[in-house]
Amino acid sequence: MAKMNQDTYAGGGVVDQVEADPVNSRNERSLYAARLKIFPQRVSGAFRRLKWLIMLVTLGIYWVTPWIRWDRGPNAPDQAVLVDLASRRFYFFSIEIWPQEFYYVAGLLIMAGLGLFLITSVVGRAWCGYTCPQTVWTDLYMAVERRIIGDRNAQMRLDKAPWGFAKIRKIATVHAIWLLIAIATGGAWVFYFADAPGLAVDLVTLKAPPAAYVTIAVLTFTTYVFAGFMREQVCTYMCPWPRIQGAMLDEDSLIVTYNDWRGEPRSRHRKKSEQQGLDTGDCVDCNACVAVCPMGIDIRDGQQLECITCALCIDACNNIMDKVNQPRGLISYSTLQDYQVHASTAASKGREVAKQEQRRFSVSHIVRPRTVIYFTLWALIGVAMLVTLAMRDRLGINVLHERNPLFVTLSDGSVRNTYTVKLLNMLPELKTFSVTLDGLPGAEMWYAGAEEEKSRNLIVEVQPDRVRDLRVFVVMPEGARASQDFDFVVTDPETGQTSSADAQFHGPTR
């Protein structure tokens, strides 16, 4: 159990001195030691409120999105966001992505990567501290613990207490809620791949495909283990991003920083030290920043791989500074450049002058060459994708030449080639397309099932949001050259949109 002492400061502020050790400090960390439990203390403040808000928004989006309906007409699914593996489609509200349009998904991934680079170069590992699924679900699990067991001290007492009915009841309740959350997490994921209401009924009635139950089981297990037991170890040992993020940072990146130029030397009995004329910094060595850290580190030891930039230590320290009548910002978002300027000012002009000149957040922290380049690239890709989405054709044609046999010489001397032609109707309505030959003077064509309709122009109906396969025969009169290039052209008579596919006609070598 953590020991706590109190000290009184100017203005009557009372500060609890928490005996909290950073279990993941450089001196304590070992690859061969069993994990030491971390019991983060509850904290209030602006960054904690921001984390609560982001957690509610992200979890709400994750769990609610599959249930949003979007009317696409009678021939398409009405789920707003759906990855339809059976039909090989991705639906996102009014946008429908076909397999051949996978470059849009690639573009989104590139935008996500550039966005991550941009955010990291501005505010460090903000993704890790606020929106990473591991962080969000761990926060949720810790909130359940605090609700059932209590805050830090209550959890530490229960952990050391002998097994009994009260301990079993509390722990069983916590783990039961964790499992329900984990099941809901896995269950929500599979709803993105099938009609959510229908799949929900099938899951309950045990009629869903085995793949759905396997997926839910795997995600339930990983959520329960990662957020309930491994927590900070996932970030420290499993995630590669802490080891990559250093390349995204520069001297102007905002990172959570302990400003030791105003905090040192520390004193747990500052009032007595000041009465004795001793030099003391603003840090009262209360260990509040250590007690609230979900990663089990001491930010006063400097930048560390484990720090996820959640800024809870800032909230804890600001609360203490309010109690001891000192300006906030002993721990703050700061840049290396600002830190060096303030440290130099403190050394030359004194700590009080440096505190008065301590720089807060400004636009210049965001707008600088690196971030402008990242944002420009990110925006250009986004604009290019929007333009191509707005201008893309909703019909298409693919052609495959039959290779066995390559050509057939008919009894009258004419030559026939066979092609598999795929017509794509990417609209949720029945369409009638015109397929014509561009090139091959004198050639005619027909498709299997319509042999009597020989011409250079075929009229073909294609069902809504479907691909129609046609076996097309093209015949050239006697005297055809050994090889000729031409095009199949498909046209939508209603809109005038066209699409074409290259092909080659083969004949006997002369």
Across the strands, what pairs with 502? Answer: 487
Q: Is residue 371 part of a domain?
A: no
Per-residue model confidence (pLDDT) at position 1: 42
Which residues of the chain fall short of a pLDDT of 50? 1-2
Q: What is the pLDDT of residue 508?
A: 83
Tell me: do 218 and 287 sit in the same domain.
no
Q: Is 398 exposed, middle or buried (CB count within 10 Å of its CB: 0-12, 13-18, 19+)?
A: middle
204 and 332, same domain (yes or no) = no
In sign, the C-alpha dihedral spanning 113, 115, 116, 122 is positive
Residue 7: its pLDDT value, please? 59
Note whether residue 123 is domain-resident. Answer: yes
Report yes or no on 158 lying in a domain.
yes
Residue 450 makes CB contacts below 8 A (sequence gap 6+) with 458
Q: Is residue 30 part of a domain?
A: no
Say whether both 71 and 214 belong to one domain.
yes
Q: Which pLDDT tens digit goes with each residue over 415-445?
A: 999 999 999 998 888 999 999 999 888 899 9
Q: In the prediction, which pLDDT does 61 show? A: 96
On whether both 273 and 226 belong to a single domain, the answer is no
d(CA 53, CA 48): 9
Domain end, chosen from 196, 223, 248, is at 248
274 and 243 both lie in a single domain: no
115 in any annotated domain:
yes
How many angstroms separate the CA atoms of 429 and 425, rounded? 8
- In this predicted structure, what is the pLDDT of residue 250? 85
CA distance 3 to 17: 8
- Same structural domain for residues 269 and 327? yes
Q: Is residue 96 part of a domain?
A: yes
- Tell me the pLDDT tens digit for each residue of 319-336: 999 998 899 999 999 999
The neighbouring-strand residues paired with 505 are 484
* Residue that is last in its domain, among 248, 276, 298: 248
Strand (E) or helix (H) holding 362: none
Q: Which of 160, 2, 131 minimizes the C-alpha distance to 62?
A: 131
Structural domain includes residue 382: no
The one-letter amino acid code at 271 reads K
Contact status, residue 443 vs residue 407, Cβ threshold 8 Å: no
What is the pTM for the complete model shown? 0.85
Q: Of the candidates 200, 215, 248, which is a domain's last residue?
A: 248
What does the pLDDT look like over 26-61, one tens digit per residue?
666 666 667 789 999 999 999 999 999 999 999 999
Total Cβ atoms within 10 A of residue 502? 11
Per the CB < 8 A criterion, the answer to whether 266 and 281 are in contact is yes
Contacts 24+ apart (CB under 8 A), 376-384: 377/114, 378/111, 378/114, 378/115, 378/118, 381/107, 381/110, 381/111, 381/114, 382/111, 384/107
Check residue 215 and give its pLDDT: 96
H-state helical runs in 324-400: 336-349, 351-356, 369-391
Determine the Cα angle at 171 with ends 170 and 172, to 5°.
Answer: 95
- Tell me, yes or no, whether 85 and 162 share the same domain: yes
Which residues 6+ apart lie within 8 Å of 275 measured at CB? none
Residue 40: phi and psi, rounded to 5, are -65, 140
Same domain, 317 and 178: no
**Rounded Cα–Cα distance for residues 133 and 182 (Å):** 12
Domain range holding 244?
46-248
Looking at the structure, tell me whether residues 290 and 432 fall in a common domain.
no
Percent of the chain with pLDDT over 70: 92
262 and 351 share one domain: yes
Which CA distances in Å does 51 have to 225, 267, 304, 436? 22, 31, 21, 60
In a domain, 340, yes or no: yes
Q: Domain check: are 201 and 320 in the same one?
A: no
The total domain count for the chain is: 3
Asked if 151 and 297 sit in the same domain, the reply is no
